[in-house]
Amino acid sequence: MPPSLLDLAEAQEGLLSTEQCGRHGVGASRCSRAVAGGRWSRVTRGVVDTITVPPASRTAFDVPRSPVPPLSVTSAPDLVPWPPRSDGDRLFGHLRRRAGWLGHLAHGATSIPVGTSALAFLGIEGTPVTAAPDVALPWAAKRQPRAGVPLRQFDDGLTTVPFGDGRTGEIRIAAPEWALAQAVPELTMERGLAVLDSARRLRLVDRHGVERSHDHARGRRGVAARHDLWDLADPRAASPLESFARWQCIAEGVPPDTLQLVVRDLAGAPFAVGDLAWRLGPTQWLVGELDGYEWHDGDPARVVRDRDRDNAFTALGVRLLRFDAGHLRRGEVGTAVRRALHAYRRTGG
């Protein structure tokens, strides 16, 4: 295959349209032979995947090494590391952006990734890894969706931003305010909060941008139960895990008093930062810590550091609750915090 075509597939998370193949001298019969020989697979009409491993079975070693990075990487380089922080970040980011490319390639150059697909291209975290392609055309109501690639009605007044690089050329995607307005009413409550938090943290929208996004979302199906999420968006939330945990606490009636609490040692110097915190007294706090999906994998030294840090928290009069992704999946965070606060108030500390 021509190197230029393989570079394009690398940029587009392994996907190519048959139109792109033709422009690079690879005709329909050659594409069909690649699919028949198992080197490529056909995703939907007009789109092939050059990665032979099925998406559900992929690991970080299967995904492209140099895809088009999310816009947040260039707009907030001090906040977004690239390459991503872990193998899990690489894999999940690939799967989310792949959905956006699939939708765009299936419906052609005039299609606009919107909703969760636009959020993935923007680099906003918190969307489901399994989100379907989300694209719009000005004439979407008059065009049939392709298998696995639905179409959204084009929003009146929708604004867009450019995405792509020298390999792909420029495509247009929904601007952050609009992408949030489209996605949040259709996400779960905790994911809706997570994407709003992420957009604020990455400085893709400010407080006024969140308000405009809320206005764009009014009247959409599902938004009535989610109006409060726009008011709760907080740039201090450092990860989707923290946003998920915060929502579980809000739903349980124990919202944290602050985020990213700076804990000081006996000399008054900053010692650590707690993810979520509840005030117990004038100088006493309950702190909730969220451990990432791969926080301790293969790193015994990190386990020791966390244990020593936990002991130091206790010595400073800070009560600590530590949670991981399993606690979040089981919905246990809010209940654990409520019980801890109740026990402290019942016993008087």
Task: Please give the residue that has the higher pLDDT: either 343 or 304.
Answer: 343
Q: What is the pLDDT of residue 240?
A: 94
Question: Does residue 293 register a pLDDT over 70?
Answer: no
pLDDT tens, position by position, 205-242: 999 999 999 999 999 999 999 999 999 999 999 999 99
Say what angle helices 189-201 and 176-183 make with each other, to 10 degrees: 170
Q: What is the pLDDT of residue 148?
A: 73
Q: What is the pLDDT of residue 206?
A: 96
pLDDT tens, position by position, 64-114: 999 999 999 988 888 888 888 889 899 999 999 999 999 999 999 889 999
Q: Which two tokens stand for residue 217?
A: 């979302």
Domains and CATH numbers, the chain: 3-235 (no CATH), 241-347 (3.40.960)
As a whole number of angstroms, the distance between CA 174 and CA 154 comes to 10
Q: What is the pLDDT of residue 212?
A: 97
- Residue by residue, DSSP assigns 40-97 as SEEEETTEEE---S-GGG--GGGS-SSPPPPHHHHH-TTTS-SS-SSHHHHHHHHHHH
Q: What is the pLDDT of residue 244?
A: 96
Average pLDDT, the chain: 90
As a whole number of angstroms, the distance between CA 118 and CA 127 comes to 11
Q: What is the pLDDT of residue 301?
A: 54
To the nearest whole percent, how much of the chain has pLDDT over 70? 91
- In degrees, to the nearest 5, what angle opens at C-alpha 139 toward C-alphas 5 and 166? 25
pLDDT tens, position by position, 22-35: 999 999 999 999 99
83 prior amide bond cis, ω within 30? yes
Q: Which two tokens stand for residue 236?
A: 């201090």
As a whole number of angstroms, the distance between CA 29 and CA 237 comes to 51
As a whole number of angstroms, the distance between CA 103 and CA 135 comes to 6
pLDDT tens, position by position, 143-180: 677 777 878 888 889 999 999 999 999 999 999 999 99
Task: Please give the residue that has the higher pLDDT: either 183 or 142.
Answer: 183
Question: Does residue 21 register a pLDDT over 60?
Answer: yes
* Alpha helical stretches, state H, 153-239: 176-183, 189-201, 207-217, 227-232
Q: What is the pLDDT of residue 224?
A: 94
* Alpha helical stretches, state H, the chain: 3-11, 18-23, 28-36, 71-75, 87-107, 115-122, 176-183, 189-201, 207-217, 227-232, 240-251, 300-315, 325-329, 333-347
Q: Which two tokens stand for residue 335?
A: 């209940």
Q: What is the pLDDT of residue 295?
A: 38
DSSP run (H or E) holding 289: strand 285-290
pLDDT tens, position by position, 307-320: 566 767 777 778 89
Average pLDDT of span 289-307: 57
